[in-house]
Protein backbone atom coordinates (compact mmCIF):
# COMPACT_ATOMS: atom_id res chain seq x y z
CA UNK A 1 0.00 0.00 0.00
CA UNK A 2 1.46 3.31 -1.04
CA UNK A 3 2.37 5.77 1.72
CA UNK A 4 0.04 8.70 2.09
CA UNK A 5 1.68 11.82 0.69
CA UNK A 6 2.09 14.72 3.09
CA UNK A 7 1.43 18.26 2.00
CA UNK A 8 2.19 21.47 3.87
CA UNK A 9 0.01 24.51 3.12
CA UNK A 10 1.48 27.89 4.07
CA UNK A 11 -1.06 30.67 3.64
CA UNK A 12 -2.34 33.32 6.05
CA UNK A 13 -5.73 33.52 4.31
CA UNK A 14 -8.16 31.29 6.21
CA UNK A 15 -10.31 30.78 3.11
CA UNK A 16 -7.43 29.46 1.01
CA UNK A 17 -6.17 27.23 3.81
CA UNK A 18 -9.67 25.80 4.46
CA UNK A 19 -10.36 25.22 0.79
CA UNK A 20 -7.03 23.56 0.03
CA UNK A 21 -7.16 21.44 3.19
CA UNK A 22 -10.66 20.18 2.40
CA UNK A 23 -9.86 19.43 -1.23
CA UNK A 24 -6.50 17.77 -0.61
CA UNK A 25 -7.79 15.66 2.29
CA UNK A 26 -10.68 14.49 0.11
CA UNK A 27 -8.10 13.57 -2.51
CA UNK A 28 -6.35 11.37 0.07
CA UNK A 29 -3.46 13.54 1.22
CA UNK A 30 -2.30 14.21 4.74
CA UNK A 31 -2.44 17.99 5.14
CA UNK A 32 -0.88 20.43 7.60
CA UNK A 33 -1.58 24.14 7.46
CA UNK A 34 0.38 27.11 8.83
CA UNK A 35 -0.36 30.81 8.64
CA UNK A 36 2.94 32.69 8.54
CA UNK A 37 6.37 32.56 6.94
CA UNK A 38 8.39 31.72 10.05
CA UNK A 39 6.24 28.73 10.93
CA UNK A 40 6.26 27.67 7.30
CA UNK A 41 10.06 27.63 7.30
CA UNK A 42 10.27 25.67 10.56
CA UNK A 43 7.64 23.16 9.55
CA UNK A 44 9.06 22.68 6.07
CA UNK A 45 12.56 22.20 7.49
CA UNK A 46 11.44 19.06 9.36
CA UNK A 47 11.65 17.11 6.13
CA UNK A 48 8.24 15.51 6.72
CA UNK A 49 6.56 16.83 3.59
CA UNK A 50 6.39 15.60 0.02
CA UNK A 51 5.11 18.91 -1.29
CA UNK A 52 4.64 22.45 0.00
CA UNK A 53 2.03 24.88 -1.31
CA UNK A 54 3.11 28.31 -0.24
CA UNK A 55 1.64 31.80 -0.56
CA UNK A 56 3.94 34.64 -1.56
CA UNK A 57 2.53 37.35 0.72
CA UNK A 58 2.53 36.20 4.34
CA UNK A 59 3.32 37.79 7.68
CA UNK A 60 6.92 37.29 8.76
CA UNK A 61 8.83 35.85 5.82
CA UNK A 62 7.58 36.09 2.26
CA UNK A 63 7.05 32.83 0.40
CA UNK A 64 10.04 33.49 -1.80
CA UNK A 65 12.21 34.13 1.27
CA UNK A 66 11.11 30.86 2.83
CA UNK A 67 12.07 28.96 -0.32
CA UNK A 68 15.45 30.72 -0.41
CA UNK A 69 16.13 29.76 3.21
CA UNK A 70 15.20 26.14 2.59
CA UNK A 71 17.47 25.93 -0.43
CA UNK A 72 20.33 27.57 1.46
CA UNK A 73 19.90 24.91 4.17
CA UNK A 74 19.97 22.14 1.58
CA UNK A 75 16.25 21.45 1.79
CA UNK A 76 14.94 20.64 -1.69
CA UNK A 77 11.31 19.96 -0.86
CA UNK A 78 9.13 20.53 -3.97
CA UNK A 79 7.27 23.82 -3.68
CA UNK A 80 4.23 25.19 -5.50
CA UNK A 81 3.98 28.97 -5.22
CA UNK A 82 0.53 30.45 -4.84
CA UNK A 83 0.12 34.16 -5.35
CA UNK A 84 -2.28 36.94 -6.31
CA UNK A 85 0.80 38.79 -7.53
CA UNK A 86 2.18 37.42 -10.77
CA UNK A 87 4.75 40.04 -11.72
CA UNK A 88 7.76 38.78 -13.62
CA UNK A 89 10.10 39.16 -10.64
CA UNK A 90 8.01 36.95 -8.36
CA UNK A 91 7.38 34.26 -10.96
CA UNK A 92 10.95 34.05 -12.29
CA UNK A 93 12.53 34.29 -8.86
CA UNK A 94 10.38 31.56 -7.38
CA UNK A 95 11.05 29.24 -10.32
CA UNK A 96 14.78 30.00 -10.17
CA UNK A 97 14.80 29.11 -6.49
CA UNK A 98 13.40 25.75 -7.40
CA UNK A 99 9.64 26.13 -7.13
CA UNK A 100 8.11 23.46 -9.34
CA UNK A 101 4.99 25.40 -10.17
CA UNK A 102 3.33 28.82 -9.91
CA UNK A 103 -0.43 29.18 -9.47
CA UNK A 104 -2.17 32.52 -9.60
CA UNK A 105 -5.02 33.41 -7.24
CA UNK A 106 -7.96 33.17 -7.65
CA UNK A 107 -7.47 29.62 -8.81
CA UNK A 108 -9.44 26.82 -10.37
CA UNK A 109 -9.56 24.07 -7.74
CA UNK A 110 -9.61 21.10 -10.11
CA UNK A 111 -6.68 22.48 -12.06
CA UNK A 112 -4.71 22.97 -8.85
CA UNK A 113 -5.44 19.40 -7.73
CA UNK A 114 -4.22 18.13 -11.09
CA UNK A 115 -1.01 20.11 -10.70
CA UNK A 116 -0.52 18.66 -7.20
CA UNK A 117 -0.91 15.13 -8.54
CA UNK A 118 1.52 15.88 -11.34
CA UNK A 119 4.10 17.50 -9.05
CA UNK A 120 3.95 14.58 -6.63
CA UNK A 121 4.69 12.26 -9.53
- Binding residues for another protein, per CB under 8 A? 13-16, 18-19, 21-23, 26, 105-111
Which C-beta is closer to another protein: that of 48 or that of 104?
A: 104
- Least Å distance, CB 119 to another protein, is 18
- Least Å distance, CB 84 to another protein, is 10
Which C-beta is closer to another protein: that of 12 or that of 65?
A: 12
Which C-beta is closer to another protein: that of 19 or that of 91?
A: 19
- Least Å distance, CB 24 to another protein, is 8
- Least Å distance, CB 69 to another protein, is 27
Cα radius of gyration rounded to whole Å, the chain: 13
Exposure string over 97-119, b if 16+ CB within 10 A, otherwise e = bebbbbbeeeeeeeebbebbeeb
Residues 9 and 64: their CA atoms lie apart, in Å, by: 14
Which C-beta is closer to another protein: that of 35 or that of 98?
A: 35
Please, which residues bridge with residue 30 across strands?
A: 6
Residues 60 and 37: their CA atoms lie apart, in Å, by: 5
Residue in 96, 2, 99 with CA at minimum distance from that of residue 55: 99
Amino acid sequence: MADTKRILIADDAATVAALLTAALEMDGYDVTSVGDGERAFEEGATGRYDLVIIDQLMPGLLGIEVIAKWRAAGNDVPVMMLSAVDDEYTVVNSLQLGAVDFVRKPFNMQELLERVRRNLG
